[in-house]
Amino acid sequence: MTMIRIKHIHTLAELDAIEKIWTDLERVDGGPSIFQSWIWNRTWCEHVLGSRKRARLDVRVVEDGAGRTLAILPLFEEALAGPIARLTQFLGHRMSYHNDVLLADPKSSELAERVVATLLEDLGPRTVLHLRHLNGESLFTKQLLASQWAEPQCLRVLIQADPSITDQQMRFGRSTRKTFRSQVNQLNRRFDCEYRVLRGEDFPEVFDELVDLHQRRFTSAARSTLLAGPNLAFLKAAASKLSNRGNFEIVQLRADGATIAAALMAHDKRRYFQVNFGFDPEFARYSPMRLLLTETMRRGFDDLGCEIYDLGPGYEAYKFKWSPIVGTNYFCCRGGSGLYAKSVAALYRAAFRRRLPPTPQTGVRVHGGNNPV
């Protein structure tokens, strides 16, 4: 068996030196999502990593004996409860929900198995590895599951293209459809409504408008949001760059020329991701986000030719109203070599499980499973 080794990258200068290798792995057939792209991860390092005082890069490059890159693991580490342990997590922490690694051959189960084994062997005696929102479709995640190193984190809500559905409202049940049509009619009677799609040079300005709506929605519900400080700066910068490349856009619902709802969407590999959204609470009685999400589904399937509309983690009951298929996101939380790291990881894993939001009781079935949720 060919020898493989791991090279650790701890500085931005070292990271920048592998930009071409990284971007080459992005473009491999069957490769990872846009959330493992160089732009997404390098921008996160620029805006967020530096604000975490106890954190540092720990990107791992897996090479064969000839120095050829087999995989990139986009990771960072930070102190856990002072000096007792080091916590290793994905770059894009808490801003990505479709996480994976980059493989030279994403279709090779043997390579994924070797990368997982090499990662586990590389963990130190004070390391806790905690990988959230692992993409259940990737071979890397499947190998973690086979090694019993990963377990379910949450449902993932996906809507599949269906040529027989010409009106996305038909995905609702009869009662929901009736209510929805009444809200549409009321809104259209009172206001002149239109949808707009914006990207490229218009993107930064409309992004700020979306964030204002997002924050007003959270404030009205007395909730806090992650979209603040470095996280907000990161998302604006990364999404703006990827919008110029055609991957990100904002879809607006406007009433009498004012934006009452907006959704940040990503288009990648025939999948349309709902990344974030906001709406004006004063229009809540018209369900503006339901209207806008129905339009973005139409756009994703009809205009962009996507096969999947990805609503992300299924923590909210509203996501299940569109008769979706349901997959699973996974997490991995394990300690490195020795009893000490394994004991710390066991405590950390138990605490993380307790903090997970409950899953709505919806009666839908998990895609590929036999039991109703």
pLDDT digits (tens, 9 = 90+) for 160-202: 999 999 899 889 888 888 888 899 899 999 999 999 999 999 9
Distance from C-alpha of 194 to C-alpha of 20, rounded to nearest angstrom: 42
Q: Is residue 366 part of a domain?
A: no
**Nearby residues of 128 by Cβ (< 8 Å), 6 or more positions away:** 80, 85, 86, 87, 88, 333, 334, 335, 336, 341, 344, 345, 348
Q: Is residue 371 part of a domain?
A: no
In the chain, % helix, strand, coil (3-state, to 5) comes to 40, 30, 30
* Top-confidence residue, 54 or 365: 54
Q: Is residue 360 part of a domain?
A: no
In this predicted structure, what is the pLDDT of residue 276? 95
* CATH number for the domain that contains residue 235: 3.40.630.30
Distance from C-alpha of 226 to C-alpha of 217, rounded to nearest angstrom: 13
- Asked if 233 and 341 sit in the same domain, the reply is no
Give tens-digit pLDDT for 22-36.
999 999 999 999 999
In this predicted structure, what is the pLDDT of residue 174? 85
- Asked if 178 and 151 sit in the same domain, the reply is no
Residues 217-242, mean pLDDT to the nearest whole number: 92
- Asked if 180 and 148 sit in the same domain, the reply is no
- Asked if 32 and 172 sit in the same domain, the reply is no
- The number of residues in the chain equals 373
In this predicted structure, what is the pLDDT of residue 200? 93
Q: Report yes or no: 95 and 235 within 8 Å, Cβ to Cβ.
A: yes
Residue whose structure tokens are 């009452």: 260
pLDDT at residue 368 greater than cutoff 60: no
Q: How many domains does the chain have?
A: 2
- Structural domain boundaries enclosing 95: 4-155+327-355
* Top-confidence residue, 147 or 221: 147
pTM attached to this predicted model: 0.93
Provide the 3-class DSSP secondary structure of residue 193.
Answer: strand
Distance from C-alpha of 143 to C-alpha of 9, rounded to nearest angstrom: 24
Write out 48-73 in H/E/C secondary structure: CHHHCCCEEECEEEEEECCCCEEEEE
In this predicted structure, what is the pLDDT of residue 371? 32
- Asked if 120 and 143 sit in the same domain, the reply is yes
CA dihedral 290, 175, 320, 218 (to 10 degrees): 40
- Asked if 135 and 42 sit in the same domain, the reply is yes
Q: Report yes or no: 317 and 157 within 8 Å, Cβ to Cβ.
A: no
C-alpha torsion sign, points 207, 211, 217, 218: positive
Q: Is residue 317 part of a domain?
A: no
- What mean pLDDT, rounded, does the chain reach? 92
Q: What percent of the chain has pLDDT over 90?
A: 82
Residues 126-140, mean pLDDT to the nearest whole number: 95
